[in-house]
Amino acid sequence: MTPFDPRLTLARPELAARHLQGKIEAARFVDGERYQVLDAQAPVRGAPASDAPLQTEALMGESVTVYEVTEEGFAWGQLDSDGYVGWLTANSLGPPGPPPTHRVSALRTLIFAGPSIKLPPVAAPSLGARLAIVREQDRFAVTAAGGFVPVNHLVPLQSFESDFVAVAERFRGAPYLWGGKTSLGLDCSGLVQVSLQACGLAPPRDTDLQQQLLGTAIEPGTVLGNLRRGDLLFWPGHVAIARDRGTLVHANAFHMMVEIEPAAEAIARIRAGGSEITSVRRV
Contact 261, 252 (CB under 8 A): no
In tens, the pLDDT along 186-234 reads 999 999 999 999 999 999 999 999 999 999 998 776 677 789 999 999 9
- The predicted pLDDT at position 221 comes to 66
- The predicted pLDDT at position 226 comes to 83
Residues ≥6 apart with Cβ < 8 Å to 41:
57, 58, 59, 60, 125, 126, 129, 181, 182, 184
Q: What is the SS3 assignment for 164?
A: helix
C-alpha closest to that of 170 among 112, 119, 212, 128: 128
Q: What percent of the chain has pLDDT over 70?
A: 98
Contact 60, 49 (CB under 8 A): no
- By 3-state DSSP, what share of the chain in percent is helix, strand and coil, each rounded to 5? 15, 40, 45
Q: Give pTM, 2 decimals.
A: 0.95
In tens, the pLDDT along 252-283 reads 999 999 999 999 999 999 999 999 999 999 99
- Residue 20, CA atoms < 13 Å, CB-side half-sphere: 24
Contact 270, 240 (CB under 8 A): no
- The predicted pLDDT at position 224 comes to 74
Torsional sign, CA 106, 110, 113, 117: negative
In tens, the pLDDT along 96-154 reads 999 999 999 999 999 999 999 999 999 999 999 999 999 999 999 999 999 999 999 99
> Rounded mean pLDDT of the chain?
96
**Length of the chain as a residue count:** 283
For residues 8-29, average pLDDT:
96
Torsional sign, CA 42, 199, 255, 86: positive
- The predicted pLDDT at position 218 comes to 87
State how far the Cα of 9 lies from the Cα of 77, in Å rounded to an integer. Answer: 10
- The predicted pLDDT at position 1 comes to 43
- The predicted pLDDT at position 225 comes to 75
Burial class (CB in 10 A: 0-12, 13-18, 19+), 253: exposed
